[in-house]
A and B are shown apart, each in its own frame.
Chain A
Amino acid sequence: MNLVVRNGRVIDPANGLDAPGDVLILDGLVSRVGPKLQAPAATPTVDAGGRVVTPGLIDIHVHLREPGHEYKETIASGTRAAAAGGFTAVACMANTSPVNDTRAVTDYILAQARAGGLVRVYPIGAVTRGLKGTELAELGELAEAGCVAYSDDGRPVMNSALLRRALEYAQTFGKPIISHAEDATLAEGGVMHEGSISTDLGLRGIPAAAEEILVARDIALAELTGHRVHIAHVSTTAAVRLLRDAKARGVPVTGEVTPHHLLLTDEAMRSYDANAKMAPALRPKRDVEACREALADGTLDAIATDHAPHALTDKEVELDQAANGVIGLETAAALCLTHLVREGVLDLPTLITRLTVGPARVLDLPGGSLTPGAPGDVTILDLERAHTIDPARFYSRSRNTPFGGRACVGAPWMTVVGGRIVMREGTLA
């Protein structure tokens, strides 16, 4: 597909570009970027009107729930939500039902994505069979089927010896392992961060040490094996400190953070609202500050939403029964523009980096830049658009967000995948 986007402010951090210009996509690939480009006759044109034009945003931590939990989300509805949120590619986690630990499931996911997915879908395979943490899954077969990484996310791999073997074995296929770094024995029964608020509310808490312990272990194993570990949803000061130190020493480790861990604290649990229940838990202010700093200085390579759809029945129950997690695809861009860029936590090019080339490099994905030959994926952001987050209008099947009603300034304006417009002004094409 061909498309030319004109009159944008093109920000392509991978190529160090932040300048007015056009982007030309031919046959679904980026052809050229520059001012006043020539395009073949009859190329569909988009006038960006001065808006910010970036490589298509990539979310490397998404739960699409299909196969098995289609009542919460499907590949079709999840990719629609992604497109609405300005994302052109998502990597989906393996904790489906059945678990994505064999090529049969990977094939299914890819087939569903081809049939009804609106954006690119990169499956992540399980590290262990059934996510049980006892035996390795067939990592080779999963890689052949198209998995871009391995993760038991939803759970940690508690057995250090097993994780070591997994890291060693995975070197054959060159795919990183994504770690849900939370010590299950310390986290057991916990519903929020352990601290003065959990004491006040009479809720079982999970100490920050639960994350610190596994991050330290994962870094040590990355160092021992030389194989890349990516720490999912970092939330604590300690984890950030360990990551910074490990990177400085050259250990092959990367990290990501979610928008909700950058914007909310454990105070959000005061209303006993299950939409504030996540894993890892929302932390106190000082941890949020540490994550923000780490995102700014690159210790954290990517923003990833950990989009976790849940139905009302999963959330509207007693807190210890409520499912963990919130959706994020349709709110991430708007929230980051409003609360990170506008409030001066990150400059715009850095935010774009963390949403494009940052995640692409973590998982070695094509895209994340506008280098000629890259996939023709583009996101156009409107920095001025004022709106209120309205979950009733989400494309996702689920509505479990803590951000309903929040006023934002800035939103995705257009999403282009392979030269094809999939979202225009908030509406799916």
Chain B
Amino acid sequence: MGLKRKDLLEIRTLEPAEIVTILDTAASMKEIASREIKKVPALRGKTVVNLFLEPSTRTRTSFEIAGKWLSADVVNVSGSSSSVVKGETLMDTAKNLEAMSPDCVVIRHSASGAPHMLARALRCSIINAGDGMHEHPTQALLDLLTIREKRGHLDGLSVAIVGDIRHSRVARSNIWGMRKTGMSVTVAGPPTLIPPGIEELGVKVTYRLEDAIRDVDIVMMLRLQQERMTGGYIPSLREYARLWGLSLDKLRAARDDVLIMHPGPVNRGIELSPEVADGPYSVILDQVANGVAVRMALLYLLVGRGGEAGEPGGVPA
């Protein structure tokens, strides 16, 4: 049972069963990373375009490796999100791409909803690698995979997500993914960085770090999005770090078996002290490794297939 959809734009509209399929497939893909020849022919002859219109090295590299290990031809197109700067609208960029017949476009853009626009316009599969403040589905999926690996299951676990929730697509995607897999979520941060109506997504809200991290299985710290912040949300980085940054000291309030996660890159000394980021509770590096596996899984599930024709069911031996 694969995914019966053309695109992966958001976690919000995924069925829990689809999330499980993706995680299971990703788990099977992990072994390829340990081979000497890190290649399987599954996507041979397929073209994947990485359309990264917002700066990103790690996510783009992760998708690039994922595509190449599956033997796909990966093309990186980078540039500015601004139509004005580029002199070309997103729609124009998309139409130009389509003329080259890609099988998949992985898009990162600073405008929420940009992947949806592409998905309406293009025939090929679209994977959302992060759109504005809206969602970052592959991040949430790799986070879930990491948690499942470390804990053996997802259902019933509790998570605290701490930081600039308001502007965070990682937070939104994780909230959706975690709620769909039976986890309970608390968000924490200064009130100015908690968006209105977030409770309607099924999460608890607290303004104090200490209250959030006590008794939870997982603490996920978010990057303070300096580039998104204009307009007086916090008085200073210093105060933010003091009140909402996670240091070893504050970590004492958490459980002994807590997992510390972060989507990266870490602002050391602001949301995480270096000791915590590099310490024994941190699974940040596992997250990165799982990123490639999750992206391979998605490329496989969405791109590997052909049209409607094809043998139903098993392969003849």
Q: A and B bound?
A: yes
A318 interface residue (CB < 8 Å to B): yes
Number of chain B residues whose Cβ lies closer than 8 Å to a Cβ of chain A: 29
Number of chain A residues whose Cβ lies closer than 8 Å to a Cβ of chain B: 22
B192 interface residue (CB < 8 Å to A): no
A252 interface residue (CB < 8 Å to B): no
Name the distance in Å between A310's Cβ and chain B's nearest Cβ. 14
Name the distance in Å between A78's Cβ and chain B's nearest Cβ. 26
A201 interface residue (CB < 8 Å to B): yes
A319 B12 Cβ-Cβ under 8 A: no
- Bound-state CA distance A321–B84 (Å) is 9
A205 B196 Cβ-Cβ under 8 A: yes
Known: A201-B134, A203-B112, A272-B117. A318 touches B90 (CB 8 A): yes
A202 B131 Cβ-Cβ under 8 A: yes
Task: Please give me the residue from chain A that is nearest to B197 by CB atom.
Answer: A196
B91 interface residue (CB < 8 Å to A): yes
- Bound-state CA distance A176–B81 (Å) is 43
Name the distance in Å between B96's Cβ and chain A's nearest Cβ. 15
> CB-defined interface of B60-100 with A at 8 Å, one 1/0 digit per residue?
00000000000000000000011110000111000000000
A195 interface residue (CB < 8 Å to B): yes
- Which residues does chain B contribute within 8 Å of A204, judged by CB atoms? 133
B91 A316 Cβ-Cβ under 8 A: yes
Q: When the two chains form the complex, which single residue of B12, B110, B117, B196 contacts A194, counting CB atoms closer than 8 Å?
A: B196
Task: Please give me the residue from chain B that is nearest to A194 by CB atom.
Answer: B196
Known: A200-B201, A202-B131, A202-B133. A320 touches B111 (CB 8 A): yes
B81 A318 Cβ-Cβ under 8 A: yes
B197 A316 Cβ-Cβ under 8 A: no
Q: When the two chains form the complex, which single residue of B109, B195, B196, B197 contacts A318, counting CB atoms closer than 8 Å?
A: B109
Most buried by A among B109, B117, B135, B172: B117
- Which residues does chain A contribute within 8 Å of B82, judged by CB atoms? 321
A271 interface residue (CB < 8 Å to B): yes
A316 B89 Cβ-Cβ under 8 A: yes
- Bound-state CA distance A415–B201 (Å) is 50
- Bound-state CA distance A320–B82 (Å) is 10
Q: When the two chains form the complex, which single residue of A196, A271, A272 contacts B112, counting CB atoms closer than 8 Å?
A: A272
**Interface residue ranges, B against A (CB under 8 Å):** 12, 81-84, 89-91, 109-114, 116-117, 131-135, 169, 172, 195-198, 200-201
Apart from A202-B134, A272-B117, A318-B90, what 12 extra A-B contacts exist at CB < 8 Å? A194-B196, A198-B197, A199-B196, A200-B197, A200-B201, A202-B135, A203-B112, A203-B113, A272-B116, A317-B90, A318-B117, A321-B84
A-B contact pairs, 8 of them (CB 8 A): A197-B197, A199-B197, A200-B200, A203-B133, A207-B196, A272-B113, A317-B91, A318-B90
